[in-house]
Amino acid sequence: MSSCNTPGSTEARVIVLSGPSGSGKSTVVSRLLERSPVKLCKAVSATTRPPRVNEVNGRDYYFLSPAEFEARRAAGEFLECAEVFGAGYWYGTLKSELRRSHDICAWAFLEIDVQGALKVMEAYPDAVSIFLLTSSKEDYEQRLRARGTESDELIRRRLETAKKELQYVDRYKHRVVNDNLDQAVEQISQILATREAELNAG
Ligand code: ADP
Ligand code: 5GP
């Protein structure tokens, strides 16, 4: 039971953002967290992937060993979890992260892959779902190479996954093209402001 003084169900205040690797999800999320028109709480996912330089446990991800991840999965702690990119790394949304967001009367912001997003949309049909993409397919590779955090082999896997993920764009309520970062952030801000107004109007 939520104690938030906001109309509409807190369950409706869930945002799912997906998009191919390199589409700019992390960049867009950090900008939104600074200047969103609604209160947002980023759900911190758990993963078995090793941390990148500058990534902090508990802020960027909960970095778990495969055994720890499996134990928590078996205990039913995940809303959804999936092996992403076929590289043997698991990612998952902990149910406790949604509770954490709603306990502070914020929208839960999930940045997750398509497999996970489809499961969340089933569990939360009122969720705002957004697919982030670029207008040119070449941009993904260019951006991943410029980011410089993955090997050639991992970039190849990510681009293959991107092709499959792009087939699911119509399952999302909104599609946002991130060719220009400011415009993409503004468009998502407007989607959230409009939805918040609808919920407040009952
Ligand atoms: P994702 O989380 O979807 O894999 P990132 O947010 O890490 O993507 O972005 C991938 C790279 O592209 C980063 O180096 C980021 O700075 C850059 N980037 C993000 N948005 C844009 C944009 N609109 N134009 C150009 N580069 C961008
Ligand atoms: P990265 O390794 O670049 O941080 O993330 C890789 C991919 O994992 C991204 O497509 C991201 O959306 C996805 N991802 C991150 N967290 C989760 C999660 O909790 N569940 C699922 N299903 N995918 C996730």
**Sign of the C-alpha dihedral computed for residues 77, 172, 61 and 35 taken in this order:** negative
Q: Find how far residue 35's CA is from the centre of its chain.
A: 17
Alpha carbons 133 and 119: distance in angstroms, whole number: 20
Alpha carbons 115 and 177: distance in angstroms, whole number: 21
pTM for this predicted structure: 0.94
Residues with CB under 6 A from ligand 2: 18, 21, 45, 49, 80, 82, 84, 91-93, 111-113, 115-116
Alpha carbons 195 and 38: distance in angstroms, whole number: 10
Q: What is the dihedral of CA 119, 121, 125, 130, to 10 degrees?
A: 180
| Atom 11 of ligand 2, nearest CA residue | 112
- 140 C-alpha vs ligand 1 centroid, how far in Å? 8
| Atom 12 of ligand 2, nearest CA residue | 112
Would you give per-residue pLDDT tens digits along the chain (202 residues)?
556 767 656 677 999 999 999 999 999 999 999 989 999 999 999 999 999 888 999 999 999 999 999 999 999 999 999 998 777 899 999 999 999 998 999 999 999 999 999 999 999 999 999 999 999 989 999 999 999 988 999 899 989 999 999 999 999 999 999 999 999 999 999 999 999 999 999 7
Residue 61 CA: which ligand 2 atom is closest? 16
For 8, residues 6+ apart whose C-beta sits below 8 A from its C-beta are 199, 200, 202
